[in-house]
Amino acid sequence: MATIYILSEHGKLTKKDETIVFVQSDETRTILFPFKTEHLVIIGNVSISGDALRLLTKYKICTTFLSSNGRFNGKLSFGDSKNVFLRQRQYRILDNPFGHLLNGNPAHAPDNILEWKNHQRYDAQRHAPRPVRF
């Protein structure tokens, strides 16, 4: 996947079939293939037709707009898919202070932190390796 830079003061991005065509002011045409493009950086005053914009969104091509001086004007970006179930589980853990210890079962919740610490100490002593006597 490629990053394409377009530097032009007067130009236009249009759509033709399943390709994006960049037309410069002297009628020079450049064909861009969306399936080969990952990121598009437009520097200068370039106009985009609605069909070309729809094609950019269809192929999820991140587009950055910069002025002719290099100043950031805007960005068209597409977020990754969101894992809703993971987010809900994280919020549930935040609601319960011992959520990461309970594995989703509140019946195992200690009454207070000292009880939990004593339990951890007991487990550590119980599983500690014992010296071997000959």
For 12-57, write each residue's pLDDT tens digit.
999 999 999 999 989 999 999 999 999 999 999 999 999 999 999 9
Name the nearest CA neighbour of 34 among 47, 50, 49, 21.
21
Name the nearest CA neighbour of 22 among 42, 7, 14.
14
| Percent of the chain residues past pLDDT 70, beyond the cut | 75
The per-residue pLDDT for 59 is 92
CATH 3.100.10.20 range(s) for the chain read 2-76
Q: What is the CATH number of domain 2-76?
A: 3.100.10.20
Name the nearest CA neighbour of 33 among 47, 21, 46, 45.
21
The per-residue pLDDT for 56 is 93
